[in-house]
Amino acid sequence: MMRVDTDVADDVAVLQPQGRLTMVTAPELRQLVAETVRSGRVRVVVDLSATEFLDSSGLGALIAGLKTARQAGGDLRIAGLGPQVATVLQLTNLDRVLRPYGSVAEALSAR
Amino acid sequence: VTANGSVIDLRDRPADDDSRVRALEDLGVLDTGPEERFDRITRLAQHLFGVASASVNLLDRDQQYIKSSHGASLSHGPRAEAICDLTIRGSETLVIEDVAADERFASSSFVTGPPHVRFYAGHPLEAPGGHRIGTLCVTDDRPRPFGPREQALLRELAGWVQNELTQSAELEQAAEVQRRLLPRRSPQIPGYTVAGACLPSRGVGGDFLDWYCSPDDELTVTLGDVMGKGIAAAIIMATVRAALRSTAGSPGPGAAVTEAAATLQEDLEETGTLVTLCHARLSPGSGTLRYTDAGHGLILLLRADGTVRRPTGGGLPLGISDEERWPEGRVVMDPGDLVVAFSDGLLDVFDGTLAALDRVIEVVGGCRSAQEAVDRLTALARGTRLLDDDVTVLAIRRSE
């Protein structure tokens, strides 16, 4: 289940995966980011505030999304991490690549 | 009590639904589309019972997915409205000979509108751990009786679906090959005990564990975790293991991981896979342990005096960037010191956060050998009803 908000700006999409972001749901996110970027919304924020659990496949989808967005001249940012998601990101040192933001608004306003 | 008199198990509360959903996900059939092995069963069931449709349904937290159906067209829908949701609450066949006369479903849209379901019979499907994750059901657009003989047949067919869901000869062979890739016996190093274990959450997994002694008596150990689960992860795991094995000639673990990562980068990128691992070399004489962490982060040094240290600040997982250089850390193991490394599956046995580390420290505290530490941690993982993820543990202890 994925909520998509495209009202923020013409080149922005906010994606909010609900529940568990695992090998079952990760391909959906991966595909959605690819479609979003292709449609010209190259600044993608993944709002993880409704994501209860993230596994390595979920991480893989975020990294793949980041690559896709950067290749199109945009960016992918993540916001609103819960404790489990934050732990996974910290352990893998991927917070160096995917810097977490407190909220969607912060992710959008940061340079 | 259901329409055919079986009692619904009220102990099967939604509180347990999370592990049920995980059991379903672990079967790896939600994301694989239609499959002939299920289609042939629904085809057969539809003909055998002469009903409008037969289907294999999977129920996750909120949705009912049609894995396979034959006959009148059916579509995915909210779980809350599905009769199959009622079926998986019990362990028996659920029969509703006239759905329109059943007040629970009489006003449902699938009764009042297309496909005008008037008859329903469904049998629950169980995952290996016993969770009821879906149904085989037959429906018709007119009421009909469904006697003990027909119920027995439906049960038989449901058993067949269940076998297809949980068994695959090829998977078993793959699991056997993977078991053979794990170290068979602990290395014999005077003054140390070394032990490890790998518990895949399914038949095969993406975790791996490796160790070998080089001619100069140095011990090299690796614990790795390939993104994903099942057979796809297992194939990559074997590749990563081979790449790391070929770095025995490199000067240290940091250089070894950097070299292996360069070899693997293209393959990992192509398959969109990440690999986290820790790789270390121990010089038994001095007790010096040189280690490198590639986004794994789960190594603990428990000193004989009770202090605990968790090395941090390693590099990225493999498969992210071809420019990464992995730094090397160093600790000296004194007599009585214990080093434990484990995969993040063990964190999920607790709450999935770093708070779980304290529990791990508690559990392995006071261990007299590496094997004892590994045994205690694997007992913990085995104690959970259902492994979410592979759990792999490695321990090295310097004897007093």
Quote the pLDDT of residue B203.
64
- The string of DSSP codes covering B134-158 is EEEEEEESS-----HHHHHHHHHHH
CB A51 within 8 A of CB A85: yes
Residues of chain B with Cβ-Cβ distance to A19 below 8 Å are: 61
Which of A28, A91, A95 is the best residue to mutate to test the B interface, defined by the most B CB atoms within 10 Å of its own CB? A91
Task: Say whether the peptide bond before residue B145 is cis (omega within 30 degrees of 0).
Answer: no
Per-residue pLDDT of chain B (400 residues; tens, 9 = 90+): 334 434 444 334 455 788 888 888 878 788 777 888 999 999 999 999 999 999 999 999 888 999 999 998 777 888 888 999 999 999 999 999 999 999 999 999 889 988 899 999 999 999 877 889 999 999 999 999 999 999 999 999 999 999 888 766 567 677 778 888 888 888 899 999 999 998 876 667 788 899 999 888 899 999 999 987 677 788 888 999 999 999 988 999 999 999 999 999 999 988 888 999 999 999 999 999 999 999 998 999 999 999 999 988 789 999 998 889 999 999 999 999 999 999 888 888 888 888 889 999 999 998 999 999 999 999 988 876 555 677 899 999 999 9
Which of B227, B237, B342 is the best residue to mutate to test the A interface, defined by the most A CB atoms within 10 Å of its own CB? B227
CA distances from B282 to B217, B223, B330 (A): 9, 14, 10
What's the ipTM?
Answer: 0.87
Nearest chain A residue to B355 by CA distance is A87
Question: What residues in chain B have their Cβ under 8 A from chain A's Cβ atoms?
Answer: 21, 25, 28, 30-31, 61-62, 225, 227-229, 272-274, 276, 295-298, 314-317, 320-321, 344, 347, 351-354, 388-389
Does position A74 have pLDDT exceeding 50, yes or no?
Answer: yes
CB B43 within 8 A of CB B53: no
Mean pLDDT in residue range A42-71 = 93
Quote the pLDDT of residue B168.
61
CB B73 within 8 A of CB B116: no
Q: Helix B169-181 crosses helix B230-245 at what angle (to 10 degrees)?
A: 20
Quote the pLDDT of residue B14.
55
CB B337 within 8 A of CB B398: yes
Please give the share of chain A, as a percent, with pLDDT higher than 90.
71
Residues of chain A with Cβ-Cβ distance to B388 below 8 Å are: 55
- Would you call A84 and B353 a contact, using CB atoms and an 8 Å cutoff? yes
Kind and range of the H or E element at B197?
strand B192-199
Q: Which residues are CB-neighbours of A82 under 8 A, at least 6 positions away?
A: A48, A49, A51, A52
Q: Which of B59, B106, B50, B53 is nearest to B84 (CA)?
A: B59
Residues of chain A with Cβ-Cβ distance to B273 below 8 Å are: 60
- Would you call A1 and B389 a contact, using CB atoms and an 8 Å cutoff? no
Quote the pLDDT of residue B360.
92
pTM: 0.70
Quote the pLDDT of residue B22.
83
Residues of chain A with Cβ-Cβ distance to B31 below 8 Å are: 23-24, 27
Smallest CA–CA distance, residue B103 to chain A, in Å, is 31
